[in-house]
Amino acid sequence: MNDMTKTEKALEMKTSKISAKNVQVHYADTHAIKDVNVEIEDKTVTAFIGPSGCGKSTFLRCLNRMNDTIDICRVTGDILLDGEDIYDRRVDPVQLRAKVGMVFQKPNPFPKSIYDNVAYGPRIHGLARNKADLDDIVEKSLRRGAIWNEVKDRLHAPGTGLSGGQQQRLCIARAVATEPEVLLMDEPCSALDPIATAQVEELIDELRENFSVVIVTHSMQQAARVSQKTAFFHMGNLVEYDDTTKIFTNPEDPRTESYITGRIG
Amino acid sequence: MSASLLLLIILALAAVGFVIGRGRALRSVQGDRRRLHSLPNYYGFNVAMLAFVPAVLVLALWVVVQPMVVNSAVSGLIPHDSYADAGALNLIMSDVKRVAHGLDAVAAQGIVQKIPLSEMNVGNTDIRGLLGSVGVALGSDVTQDVLNAAQEFRAKSAQGALWMSIIVLVVALAGFFAAIRMTNGDLRARNLVEHGIKAVLIGAAMIAVLTTLGIILSLIFNTISFFGMFPMADFLFGMTWSPEGRGGSEHLGILPLLWGTIYISIVALSVAVPIGLFAAVYLSEYASRTTRAFAKPLLEVLAGIPTIVYGLFALTVVGPMLVGFFGADGLNWMQGARSVMTAGLVMGIMLIPFVSSLSDDIINAVPQSMRDGSYGLGATQSETVRQVVLPAALPGIVGAILLAASRAIGETMIVVMGAGAAARLSMNPFEAMTTVTAKIVSQLTGDADFASPEALVAFALGMTLFILTLGLNVVALMIVRKYREQYE
Ligand SMILES: Nc1ncnc2c1ncn2[C@@H]1O[C@H](COP(=O)(O)OP(=O)(O)O)[C@@H](O)[C@H]1O
Ligand SMILES: [Mg+2]
Domain at A130, CATH number: 3.40.50.300
Residue A33 falls inside a structural domain: yes
Atom number, ligand 1, closest to the C-alpha of residue A56: 22
Q: Give, in degrees to the nearest 5, the angle at Cα B427 between B421 and B432.
A: 20
DSSP code at position B143: P
pLDDT of residue A245: 93
Ligand showing the shortest atom-to-Cα distance for residue A190:
2
Nearest CA to CA, how far is A113 from chain B (Å)? 9
Three-class SS of chain A: CHHHHHHHHHHHHHHEEEEEEEEEEEECCEEEEEEEEEEEECCCEEEEECCCCCCHHHHHHHCCCHHHHCCCEEEEEEEEECCEECCCCCCCHHHHHHHEEEECCCCCCCCCEHHHHHHHHHHHHCCCCCHHHHHHHHHHHHHHCCCHHHHCCCCCCEHHHCCHHHHHHHHHHHHHCCCCCEEEEECCCCCCCHHHHHHHHHHHHHHCCCCEEEEECCCHHHHHHHCCEEEEEECCEEEEEEEHHHHHHCCCCHHHHHHHCCCCC
pLDDT of residue A192: 81
Residues of B in contact with A106 (CB under 8 A): 369
ipTM of this complex prediction, to 2 decimal places: 0.87
Q: pLDDT: is B133 or A50 the higher one?
A: A50
| Cross-strand partners of A19 | A39, A80
Q: Which residue's CA is minimally distant from atom 12 of ligand 1?
A: A32
Tell me which residue of A108, A130, A118, A123 sits closest to A155, measured CA to CA: A118
Answer for the pair B418, B346: CB distance below 8 angstroms, yes or no. Answer: yes
pLDDT of residue A5: 53
Residue A265 falls inside a structural domain: no
What CA–CA distance (Å, rounded) separates A183 from A99?
8
- Mutation to test the A interface, candidates B290, B374, B377, B381, most A Cβ within 10 Å: B377
Q: Is the pTM of this model over 0.90?
A: no
Residues of B in contact with A120 (CB under 8 A): 374, 377, 379, 387
Backbone angles phi, psi at A163, to 5 degrees: -75, 165
Number of domains present in the structure of chain A: 1
Q: Give, in degrees to the nearest 5, the angle at Cα B417 between B463 and B313.
A: 130
Range of the domain at A14: 2-260
**Number of inter-chain CB pairs under 8 A, A vs B:** 79
Residues of A in contact with B289 (CB under 8 A): 71
Q: Which residue's CA is minimally distant from atom 20 of ligand 1?
A: A53
What digits encode the pLDDT tens for the residues A60-77? 999 999 998 888 999 999
pLDDT of residue B247: 59
Residue A121 falls inside a structural domain: yes
Residue A183 falls inside a structural domain: yes
What digits encode the pLDDT tens for the residues A129-139? 999 999 999 99
Answer for the pair A46, A1: CB distance below 8 angstroms, yes or no. Answer: no
pLDDT of residue B387: 92
What CA–CA distance (Å, rounded) separates B195 from B181?
19
Those of residues 30-69 in B touching chain A at CB distance below 8 A are none
Minimal-distance CA residue of chain B relative to A157? B486
What digits encode the pLDDT tens for the residues A185-195? 999 988 888 88
Q: Which residue's CA is minimally distant from atom 1 of ligand 1?
A: A70
Instruction: Please name each of the domains of chain B with its CATH number.
Output: 3-187 (no CATH), 243-487 (1.10.3720.10)
What rounded mean pLDDT belongs to chain A? 89
What digits encode the pLDDT tens for the residues B245-290? 655 667 888 899 999 999 999 999 999 999 999 999 999 999 888 8
Minimal-distance CA residue of chain B relative to A112? B487
